[in-house]
Amino acid sequence: MAEVTVVPEQFSLIQFDAGEIAAIVRRLADEIGLDDRPITVEVDEYSPLGYSHVSSLAPLTIKVESGAFEDAKRPRYLSPTSVSGVIGRLLFRARDRLDPAFGDPPPDEELSLAQHVAWDVYAVGRAERVGYPGQRERRRYHFRIRHGFTDVADRVFSRLWSGTDLTWADIDAASAEAAAARPAAPKRERAKAGRGR
């Protein structure tokens, strides 16, 4: 079982329990197949926002703003469902990066928004299949926003969501396929002289 460290060990501004977070992460890491790899979760309790990312693979370190773990109905209180959803997505993406067979995706900061969303769909779909929250329709909406509201985008979404053993090349190609089907934006007519701006 993974050795999990949560920073800080004691929270002062929010009602989070580091032990509860560690237990959820440990269980997820075991089910996702990260074995006994040490994991550190750094929670920024000074930020109520929800940004989260894997900041390092060696050692595996996840940085999270406290809003990502909060209960939407009880601000400043921990939501185990939110912890599972956020950590599940990030651990699956970390596992992909650690697997040579997955390929060599660019660093997160170099991914386009469409690529990022497509990879998230693949990660969250797998997390849902091992029993964690997926919010499929929310993820579908995010995918459509970045790839277009088309039948092709919906088919690609379903393929990514139910995918197994995909590579980075598969995800990148799927994202490009969906984006290519997006209708071109209509051209705006130029304003006639003396009218409009």
In Å, how far from its chain's centre is CA 100?
20
- Mean pLDDT to the nearest integer, 56-78: 95
Q: Is the confidence at residue 41, as pLDDT, over 80?
A: yes
Those residues with Cβ within 8 angstroms of residue 149's Cβ, 6 or more apart along the chain or in another chain: none
pLDDT at 36: 84
Beta-strand (E) ranges in 13-142?
Answer: 39-44, 52-57, 60-65, 70-71, 74-78
Those residues with Cβ within 8 angstroms of residue 79's Cβ, 6 or more apart along the chain or in another chain: 69, 70, 71, 72
Beta-strand (E) ranges in the chain?
Answer: 4-7, 39-44, 52-57, 60-65, 70-71, 74-78
Give the separation between CA 15 and CA 50, rounded to whole angstroms.
Answer: 16
Q: Are residues 98 and 57 in contact, defined by beta-carbon separation less than 8 angstroms?
A: yes
pLDDT at 101: 97
Q: Which residue has the higher pLDDT, 170 or 197?
A: 170
pLDDT at 189: 57
Quick one: pLDDT band at residue 197, thresholds 50, 70, 90? Answer: very low
pLDDT at 122: 98
The percentage of residues in the chain with a pLDDT greater than 70, rounded to a whole number, is 95
Quick one: pLDDT band at residue 196, thresholds 50, 70, 90? Answer: very low
Over residues 105-136, the pLDDT tens digits come to 999 999 999 999 999 999 999 999 988 877 89
Domains in the chain and their CATH numbers?
A: 4-98 (3.30.2010), 103-180 (no CATH)
Over residues 139-192, the pLDDT tens digits come to 999 999 999 999 999 999 999 999 999 999 999 999 999 999 988 777 775 555
Residue 70, helix vs strand vs coil:
strand
Q: Is the confidence at residue 1, as pLDDT, over 50?
A: yes
Q: Is the confidence at residue 193, as pLDDT, over 90?
A: no
Give the separation between CA 162 and CA 112, rounded to whole angstroms.
Answer: 22
